[in-house]
Structure formats: structure tokens, C-alpha cells
């Protein structure tokens, strides 16, 4: 049986990237196991997806914590208590305090709907349309102490088509994320991802 790395997936919304990861982990040859899904607020669709897959869920409500440090401590504790060795952000819309980097060094992954360093932040798709670019895309990266800044693992371009709405462009970006994010997480969990400073190399096989 494949040895699996226990991971916690952090979510905030509908959970389509989470669903892609849940589907991937159903393969007995996949190298990661989702031991808990943690949301920053109750009642989101992502928690329903996790529960339907039989995965433990937890809520660390942003509104219940006095500051980012306290919130981050609670998120890390919620992951660690279930034995998670890494954090995978899947539509998680909160910025973690530096404590998370100390507790999970080079073990926090994120996917971002743009070709970083272009369009960091929460409104990347809308910004790409507003700037009139013809290409945007997906960046999968390790998380460091700056927002959308950590070492890049994988990037793939997505064309911006004439007349695109934000929803249409986002849907095409998500198609790439749903395919590539599980592949990168599998490579990471299998030890096929090597980090040297800001340079990351990985074997997708």
C-alpha cells in the first residue's frame, strides 16, 4: 500500500479545488491523505463536500479570534491535532501569520488564479480582465511570509478570450487548477518536490 502524507486542507468557500483533491485521494496510489478539512467560517459548501467524503472537518472562525496571530495558532493546532504534516490551501481567503511558516516550513501549498508575480491578492481574475491582458493562468506555489510570493512550483497559462466575463475566465482557470493542483500535491507528498531557496524542481511522474 502507498505510504501517504497526512495533510490538512484549508478552505473558505465552495470547495471545487478541495473536491479535486478528494477525488484524487480516492486513488489508493495517491501519496497524500486528507486527515482534516478546516474552514475559516461555518456553513460553507466545502465542509459539506468533505463530510460527504467521510473526511473530518473543523471550523476555526475568523470572527472568534482577536487577531491574525490567534487565528493562525488555532488553524495550525486544528491541523496538528489530526496529525497533519502539511497544509494545502484550497480557496482559503485568509492570510496566515508567520507562525504557520515556522510550524510548517516549506510545507504549505497554495494555488493562485494568475501568473504570479502578476495580480497577487484576492481579486486576480477581475484584475486580469481590467488590465486587458490576453493571458493569465494558474500558479501553484509554496507559501512564505509574504502574500502570494513563495517559491513557484508550477505555472500554466490560460487565455483571456474577447468578451470574457469574470465567471467564464474563472471557470477556465479552475479547470487547470483541478487538474494540476492534485498532481503537485501528489508529487509533494511523494517527496518528488525539491526546494533550494526560491528554486523548486519536481517530477510529475
Confidence band, pLDDT 50/70/90 cuts, at residue 205? low
Quote the CA–CA distance of 109 and 130 in Å, as a whole number: 27
pLDDT tens, position by position, 116-147: 999 998 899 999 999 999 999 999 999 998 88
Residue 113 neighbours by CB under 8 Å, 6+ apart: 124, 125, 136, 138, 170, 173, 174, 177
**Residue 67: DSSP 8-state:** S
What DSSP element (H or E) covers 154? strand 152-159
CB 8, CB 38: distance < 8 Å? yes
- The domains of the chain, with CATH numbers, are 5-202 (3.40.50.170)
CB contact set of 171 (below 8 Å; sequence gap of 6+): none
User: Hunting for cell 492570510 — which residue is that?
Assistant: 95
pLDDT value at 156 more than 70: yes
Q: pLDDT at position 86, please?
A: 98
pLDDT of 165-190, one tens digit each?
999 999 999 999 999 999 999 999 99
Residue 189 contacts by C-beta under 8 Å, 6 or more apart in sequence? 4, 5, 7, 30, 31, 32, 86
Question: Does residue 1 have a pLDDT over 70?
Answer: no
pLDDT at residue number 145 = 85
Q: What is the pLDDT of residues 30-70, one digit of tens each?
A: 999 999 999 999 999 999 999 999 999 999 999 999 999 99
Catalytic residue among 31, 65, 112, 141: 112
pLDDT (0 to 100) of residue 51: 97
Q: What is the pLDDT of residues 76-124, one digit of tens each?
A: 999 999 999 999 999 999 999 999 999 999 999 999 999 999 999 889 9
CA gap 1, 69 in Å, rounded: 39
φ/ψ of residue 71, rounded to 5? -60, -45
pLDDT beyond 90 at 149: no
Strands in 60-134 per DSSP E: 86-89, 108-112
C-alpha cell at 16: 471545487
Determine the Cα–Cα distance for residues 18 and 46; give it in Å rounded to an integer.
7
pTM: 0.95
* Catalytic residue status for 112: yes
Nearest-10 Cα torsion for 14, 20, 26, 27? 180
Amino acid at each position: 500500500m502507498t505510504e501517504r502524507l497526512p495533510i490538512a486542507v484549508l478552505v473558505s468557500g465552495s470547495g471545487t479545488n478541495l473536491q479535486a483533491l478528494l477525488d484524487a485521494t480516492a486513488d489508493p496510489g495517491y501519496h497524500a491523505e486528507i486527515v482534516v478539512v478546516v474552514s475559516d467560517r461555518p456553513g460553507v459548501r466545502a465542509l459539506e463536500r468533505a463530510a460527504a467524503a467521510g473526511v473530518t472537518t473543523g471550523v476555526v472562525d475568523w470572527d472568534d479570534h482577536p487577531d491574525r496571530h490567534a487565528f493562525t495558532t488555532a488553524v495550525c493546532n486544528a491541523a496538528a491535532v489530526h496529525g497533519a504534516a502539511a497544509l494545502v490551501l484550497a480557496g482559503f481567503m485568509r492570510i496566515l501569520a508567520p507562525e504557520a511558516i515556522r510550524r510548517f516550513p516549506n510545507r504549505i501549498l497554495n494555488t493562485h488564479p494568475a501568473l504570479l508575480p502578476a495580480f497577487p491578492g484576492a481579486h486576480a481574475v477581475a484584475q486580469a480582465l481590467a488590465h486587458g491582458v490576453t493571458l493569465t493562468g494558474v500558479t501553484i506555489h509554496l507559501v512564505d511570509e509574504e502574500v502570494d510570493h513563495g517559491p513557484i512550483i508550477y505555472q500554466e497559462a490560460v487565455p483571456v478570450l474577447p468578451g470574457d466575463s469574470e465567471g467564464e475566465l474563472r471557470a477556465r482557470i479552475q479547470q487547470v487548477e483541478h487538474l494540476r493542483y492534485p498532481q503537485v500535491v501528489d508529487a509533494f507528498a511523494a517527496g518528488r518536490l525539491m526546494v533550494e531557496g526560491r528554486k523548486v524542481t519536481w517530477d510529475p511522474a
